[in-house]
Amino acid sequence: MRYGRFDDKHREYVIDRPDTPLPWINYLGTEEYFGLISNTAGGYSFFKDARLRRLTRYRYNNAPLDSGGRYIYLRDDGPHTPGPSFWSPSWQPTRIPLDEYECRHGMGYTIIRSKLNGIESSTRYFVPLGESLEIWELTLTNHRDETAQISVYSAVEFNLWDAMDDATNYQRNYSIGEVEVLDGTIYHKTEYRERRDHFAYLACSESVSGFDTQREAFLGAYRGWDSPSAVETGQMSDSVAHGWQPIGTQQVKVQLEAGEQKKVIFILGYHENLINEKFDPPNSQTINKRSVLPVIKKYLQSENVDTAFQALRKYWDELLDKYQVTTPDEHTNRMVNIWNAYQVMITFNMSRSASYFESGIGRGMGFRDSNQDLLGFVHMLPDRARERILDLAATQLPSGGAYHQYQPLTKRGNNAVGGGFNDDPLWLILAVAAYLKETVDWGILDEAVPYDNQPGSEEPLYGHLQRSIQYTLDRLGPHSLPLIGRADWNDCLNLNCFSDAPGESFQTTTSKDGKVAESVFIAGLFVLAAKEMISIAEHLGKADEMEAYSAAKQKMEKAVWSAGWDGEWFRRAYDDFGRALGSKENDEGQIFIEPQGICVMAGLGLDDDRATKALDSIDKHLATPHGIVLHQPAFSKYYLHLGEISSYPPGYKENAGIFCHTNPWIMIAEAMAGRGDKAYDYYLRINPSAREDISEVHKCEPYIYAQMIAGVDAPTHGEAKNSWLTGTAAWNYVAITQWILGIRPTFDGLEVAPVIPSGWDGFEATRSYRGIRYEIRVKRKGPGNGVRLEVGGNPIEGNIIPILSNGKKEVQVQIWLGEK
Ligand code: GLC
Ligand code: GLC
C-alpha cells in the first residue's frame, strides 16, 4: 500500500494523506540553520547544533507521536459556512479532516497544500541559502463564491536554547523566559540579558491584529495545541511571557473576495549580535535590532522569497547534476539521481544528531559515521569535505585513537561519549583517500592539524593517517588480529564490557582494557586502509613507508587466513576468553555479515574461491526478501560477554536486524566478484523506492533509507526504523554508483567498470569529475563484465579514462560491455 507517489521531474515525493504510518519528514537548511519538518508540519529548528542552539520545542515520544511544530491555524471569522470554525491546514495539530491534502517534500523544502470548505492553503517552507532563518510562505485562495474573513495564526513554542536543559531543568527554566514584541515581530530573548549574544524571532509580512507569547494565555489552561482557546474564540491576549513557556503566535486577519488569492509570509529566524552591541540603547536591556531588521524586511517581501527559492532549487540542481544516470530501472534512477544523493547530503550535515529517532541531544557528530558519510557526498561538495576531514582529524587523540563523537558547535571531542572504539581511526584513512581520488588535492596532506584540538600539537594530516594505522598495529591480540577495544563498527559488540548493571551504557561504562578480544572486522578494515596508505605513500614518493604498509597488510592478511577464516565464511571476532564468534562452532551468532563484506572489499579471497564461498554463505544463511540480516542465529538471551548486541530482542537492531548499512558492503563485494545480478538483487531488496508498495509494512519514508529493517526473527519482519541518519545512505550510494554502475574515482583518474545485471543492455550517465563533464554510454555487446573504452571517439587501453590535454570540458565516453 502507498501513501503517496514520486514526482521525479520536480525531485519531490508527494504524500497524499496526512496519516502516514509514521511521520514522514524532510530537512530544511544546508549550512548553519536547520529544521526538521514532517508531512504535517511537525518538527523543530536549530542553529548549527541541535542540542546547544535549539530554537523551537519538540516533544519526542509523545502521543500523538509528532507533537510540536511550525503550526498555522486558520479560523473562519464569518460569514459562517457549515463546518469547523478553525482547523490546521497541515492537519496537525487539530487533526480536523481536510477535503484535500498534499505534502510535497523536495530538495530542502516542503510544501503542504490543503483545502477545507472552499479555502485552499499552500505553505512553502524553506531556508534561504546563506541565511539563518526559515520562511513559511502561505498562499490562501478563496474558492467560495462569497467573501471570506479568515484569521491566520502562526504558532511555535520556543526552546530555551539548550535542549537538554530545556527538557529537564524546570525549577530554573520556569523563571527565565523573556520576550520582546515590536511592530508585530516576536523576539525570544531568554538568557540574552546574561551570556547569550543570540535571540530568535518570528515575524510576519502582514499587520498583526493580536499576539501571544505566554503559552497558557494562548492555549487556555488544561488545553492542548489541538484546540487553543485563542483560536477558538478569535481573541488573543497580547500576552508577554515572564518565565513559564514563551511561545510565538500572531493573528492576521485576511479578507478574501470570491476567487481571490493572498500571501502571508512568516519568518522564524536566529540572529547574533556583537557582544558590545547587544542592547539599544546601550545601557538598556532591549535587543539591538539594527542588524536584524534589514534581514527581516527583505524576506517579508514575496519577490525576495521567490528569488531565494529559485536559488535554493538551483543549488540542489547543481549538486545533483554532478552524477546523473538513465538506467532501465526507475528505482535506481530516482535513488541515484535524487533521493540517495540528497540523503547523503543530509547525513553529512546532521551526522547522527537530529532526526525523528535521534533526539538532537544524545549524539553529536560521529567520528566513524562522518568519515563514512563523506564517501557519499565528496563529489558534490569537495570543499566542505575538506573542512570536515580537518575537523574530524583535529579531534583525533595523540595515540591515534579518536573520540567517538564531537559537538558540531564547538568542534570538540565529546568526553561524555568516550572513545576506545578501535575501528574509528581507520575510517579517517578511507575518507581522506576518497577525497584525494575525487580532487587530487594532495596539499591537504600537508595541512597542520592538532590532536584533541590542543594548540601546539599540530602535525601534517598525513601524520594523523600514519598514527591511525599505528593505532591498530599497537593493539594486536593473541591471534595477531586487532584488539576490538570497546567495540568496532558494530557499537553493540562489546566484548570487554561485562555489564550487569541495568541501564548502564555499554558505550561509556568502564570497559576492560582487554588484551584478548579481537575483531576480524577491524582486520579487514585495516587491509582496506593499508591499501590506500600504500597508494598515498607511493604518490608521495615515500618508498620506505610503502614497503612498511605492504608488509603490515600482508601480515594482517595472514592473520585473517589463519585465525579469521572458518571454512565457509570469515569469522567475526574472538571473545575475551579467546573463543571464536561467528563460527560454526557457536550455537548462536554463527555467521555475521560484517566480516564477509569488509574482507572481500579489502580483496581477501578474490583470487581464489574463498570470497565467493563467503558470499554464497551470506545468500544461504543471512539473505531475506527484505534485506540481509546482521547474523544468524539471533541471540536468544543476554550474554554478559557479548554486551549490547544480545540485549536487543531477536531480529531488532544489532541482534540480527537487517542493519541496512552493511548490505551495500555485500553488493560491493558481489560486484567485485563479478556477480552483477546478485549485487543488484541485494540493491533492490532494501531500495526504499522499490519498497514503496509495501509502505504499510515498511512504515518509514519510501524516499530515503532507514538504518534498520526488522529481521526474520522479529514478529514485525520488514518493518523499518531509524530513518534518515545512517551510513546506509553513503554506502548504498557508493555501491550503486561506483561498483554496480562502476563509475569510480581512483588516484589515477575516473575508472569505468560496470557490473550490471545481465538483463540490462546498458545505461547512460553523466559524471563531473575534476572539472570535466563525462558523458558515458554503456552498451552491452555480450555477457560478462569485460569492457572496451572509446574516449572522444578513440579507443583506449584499460578502463581508466585518461585526462585529456585538449582542454575540453565535456568528454564523450563509449563503453562496450561484455566483448572480451
Ligand atoms: C549506528 C552508529 C554507527 C554504528 C552502527 C552499528 O548506525 O551510528 O556508528 O556503526 O550503528 O552499531
Ligand atoms: C548505535 C547502535 C545502537 C546503540 C548505539 C549506542 O547507534 O545502532 O543500537 O545503542 O549505537 O550509542
**Cis before residue 633, ω within 30 degrees of 0?**
yes
Q: How confident is the model at residue 78 (pLDDT cuts 50, 70, 90)?
A: confident
Catalytic center residues: 491
> Taking the C-alpha atoms of 214, 217, 221 and 224 in order, what is their torsion angle to the nearest 10 degrees?
-70
Q: Summarize pLDDT for 184-224 with one digit per residue, the tens.
A: 999 999 999 999 999 999 999 999 999 999 999 999 999 99
**Cell representation of residue 112:** 503542504
In order, the DSSP letters of 234-262 are T----B--BSS-EEEEEEEEEEE-TT-EE
Is the CB of 347 within 6 Å of ligand 1?
no
What per-residue confidence (pLDDT) applies to 820?
A: 58
Dist. CA 261–CA 257, nearest whole Å: 8
Is the CB of 491 within 6 Å of ligand 2?
yes
Q: Are 209 and 278 in contact (CB under 8 A)?
A: no
Mean pLDDT in residue range 515-529: 98
Percent share of the chain, pLDDT over 90: 94
Q: Name the residue with the closest Cα to ligand 1, atom 7.
A: 726
The chain-wide mean pLDDT, for the chain, equals 97
Is the CB of 368 within 6 Å of ligand 1?
yes
Pocket perturbation via mutation, ligand 1, pick of 423, 489, 572, 655 by most ligand atoms within 8 A of CB: 489
C-alpha 804 to ligand 1 mean position (Å) = 41
Is the CB of 621 within 6 Å of ligand 2?
no
Given the DSSP bridges, would you call strands 787-791 and 810-817 parallel, antiparallel or unpaired?
antiparallel
Q: Coil, strand or helix: which one is 360?
A: coil
Q: Summarize pLDDT for 341-394 with one digit per residue, the tens.
A: 999 999 999 988 899 999 999 877 899 999 999 999 999 999 999 999 999 999
Helix (H) or strand (E) holding 387, with range, is helix 382-394
* Residue 579 buriedness (CB in 10 A; 0-12 / 13-18 / 19+): middle
Q: How confident is the model at residue 405 (pLDDT cuts 50, 70, 90)?
A: confident
Atom of ligand 1 nearest to the CA of 707: 7
Is the CB of 369 within 6 Å of ligand 1?
yes
Atom of ligand 2 nearest to the CA of 417: 12
Q: Summarize pLDDT for 729-770 with one digit per residue, the tens.
A: 999 999 999 999 999 999 999 999 999 999 999 999 999 999
What per-residue confidence (pLDDT) applies to 804?
A: 78
